[in-house]
Amino acid sequence: MKKELLSIVIPCKNEEKYIANTLNALLMQPAVTFETPILIADAGSTDKTREIIDRYRAFLNIKVVPGGLPAKGRNIGASYTNSEFILFMDADITPGEPNTILEALNLARARNLDLVSTHIHSTNGNFADNFLWHLHGLASMTKIAGAYAAGMFILMRSSAFYRLGGFNEQIALGEDWDLTHRIDPDKFSISKSYINTTNRRFAAQGYLKTFLQYFMVAASSSYRQRDHKKYFDVKFN
């Protein structure tokens, strides 16, 4: 079987407000062709998410697979891939530039990296949102805490993904930190391009609570082992 260069895995649940934007953005990426497998791990959506996804099957190589919490959904999606690299994205993410994915791929291949992430902007956020994401980018670039890529955009060499055993499905919150932090910092870099995210988490929970959650994910392994399933029950506007 021919090995593809790239597969994309997107976990989702009830993303009718955002999934079309994400798929539209992928259509505009030169790195994504009709041959690029896109695995959408749906955790039992009850809104119009599946209906919207079906509209894109004529334009994108989409396969909907069973999902769950993000770690499980990503692992299941990855199990359907046969590519050199796997790009894990969230369902409310859009590449911010025409070559966002291509630049990340080229960087990974040119420097033989196992992990590449990118900068993050907030499309509907304010100064505080973008300031926090700017700090996140600085921390990633300096590797002050080692390698780390947020689950919004994780481009990983598939051999490294399987060597590390994929995402830990016992971790509900911080599974992205747990996996990517185990990558050798010398095999990790940040692309110069960026992705767009929404500020829905900050808006729903508040800045302080959300920031403290993310800080504790990075600072405490025992915190990551707690039952954080309520994190995914937050209702977004």
State the chain's mean pLDDT as an integer: 91
- As a whole number, mean pLDDT of residues 14-38 equals 96
Confidence band of 236 (pLDDT split at 50, 70, 90):
confident
The answer to whether the CB of 225 falls within 8 A of the CB of 232 is no
As a whole number, mean pLDDT of residues 23-52 equals 96
* Residues contacting 50, CB < 8 A, separation 6+: 42, 64
Helix axes 207-219, 127-142, angle to 10 degrees: 10
| Alpha carbons 138 and 208: distance in angstroms, whole number | 20
Nearest Cα neighbor of 158 from 64, 93, 77 is: 77
Residue 136's pLDDT band (cuts 50, 70, 90) = confident
CA 211/CA 208 separation, integer angstroms: 5
- Fold of domain 4-199: Spore Coat Polysaccharide Biosynthesis Protein SpsA; Chain A (3.90.550)
| CB 199, CB 131: distance < 8 Å | no
Query: For the residues 34-49, what does the mean pLDDT come to?
Result: 96
Is residue 129 within 8 Å of residue 198, measured between CB atoms? no
Cα 41 to Cα 233: distance, rounded to the nearest angstrom: 18
117 phi and psi angles, rounded to 5 deg: -125, -170
What is residue 2's predicted lDDT score, i.e. its pLDDT?
62
The C-alpha angle 202, 207, 209, rounded to 5 degrees, equals 100
pLDDT at 95: 93
Q: Give the residue extent of every domain in the chain.
A: 4-199
Q: Tell whether the model's pLDDT for residue 1 goes beyond 60.
A: no
Over residues 185-221, the pLDDT tens digits come to: 999 999 999 999 988 888 888 888 888 888 888 888 8
